[in-house]
Chain A
Amino acid sequence: MKELDILVIDNEDVICDACEMVLTEKGHRVDYYKTGKSGLQAAGLRHYDLVLLDMKLPDMDGMDILRMLKEKMPSLEVVVMTGYSTTTNAVQAMKLGAVDYLSKPFTDDELLRAVENSCGVK
């Protein structure tokens, strides 16, 4: 199974830690950033296969970050995570180019499924 380079952008410690644990146990490499700006910067500097992006960050609107990521790096897949999921947000995120949408809370399997399906890994 392909090992993926994953970028997590979420300002909650527990989410970053938990995601890192679950994903690294499966052999993926994980970096995490707690703000939109630092996350965007990291995405531009290193190669990643996938971004796990939270929609409510302290410094920027999640949708704006998603838009910028897809504009600058269209081949970089983005999976959106959110604590407040609505149909409107889901549709908007998908239209902006997100490859999947996870509503918190989700299980480790749900996370892995989303990550591995998004990068065509089975």
Chain B
Amino acid sequence: MEALNKLGVSKEQTPPHILVMEDDASLAKGLEMVLTEEGYDVYLAGTGGLALEAFKQKRYDLLVADLRLPDMDGMDVIRKVRAEKPDTGVVVITGYGTAARAVEAMKTGAHDFLPKPFTEEQIKAAVDDALRARTTHKQEPFSEVDGEKARLIQKREVLDVLNRTAEDRGFWRDLMENGSAALEGYQLSGRAKAAVISGDLKWINENVGELTQKQLMFIHNRLEREAW
């Protein structure tokens, strides 16, 4: 919990989500244990394919990536993630550390590069640093540009959520039953979350825009329920 406090994350806010992309099962478990103890939410993916899938489903604050994976080069996964979700931090772990790979990883935007074997202290420090670098980035002073950016992010997030409800039955149910708990991984303000959960079409139209049929499905369903 100490690490979270350093990040300025209070207990009410969601703990950072970390995806560990590592094919060595015992190392993955070890990392899960160490990072969960630090207060983070840790998810595991044993292949590049699974990791990319995971990024489509959920928002992650940090990717801990092994470069050697059974199905693809970890570096390619990192590149894709950095391109599509640029505010995801990356820490590379690898058994085959060469200076050239390290430089390549840093150029794609990795925050750190740890050759294996590394100690518990080293991985914790690297993860903490990488997350802190992100939050300082996020806590930039408010400005016109930021306001617009925040609005766009929010819009995108709401649409992401609504799209997902149409595709993911489990997520729909989760959202219906558990409300804002289901929206933990998303960068949404309390107001936005409330709007989605309660089916506040007015707020959504004002702040997000027109919705497609698919996106409306959840909202309509929600409103029907209300009527009951």
Contacts and interface: CB of A to CB of B under 8 A. Distances in A.
> Do chains A and B make direct contact within the complex (CB under 8 angstroms)?
yes
Interface in A75-93: 85-87, 89-91
A87 B102 contact: yes
Given A87-B113, A87-B115, A95 B106 contact: yes
B32 interface: no
Contacts of B97: 87
Name the interface size band of chain A.
Answer: 10 to 19
Contacts, number: 32
Q: DSSP majority for the B interface?
A: helix
A100 B99 contact: no
Given A87-B113, A87-B115, A100-B107, A94 B102 contact: yes
A89 B102 CA distance: 10
A32 interface: no
Contacts of B107: 94, 100
A100 B104 CA distance: 9
Interface string B82-117: 000000000000000111111100110000110100
Contacts of A103: 99-100
B99 A85 contact: yes
10 smallest beta-carbon distances between A and B, as pairs: A94-B106, A90-B99, A85-B99, A87-B97, A90-B102, A101-B103, A87-B102, A91-B113, A91-B102, A90-B103
Interface of A: 85-87, 89-91, 94-95, 100-101, 103
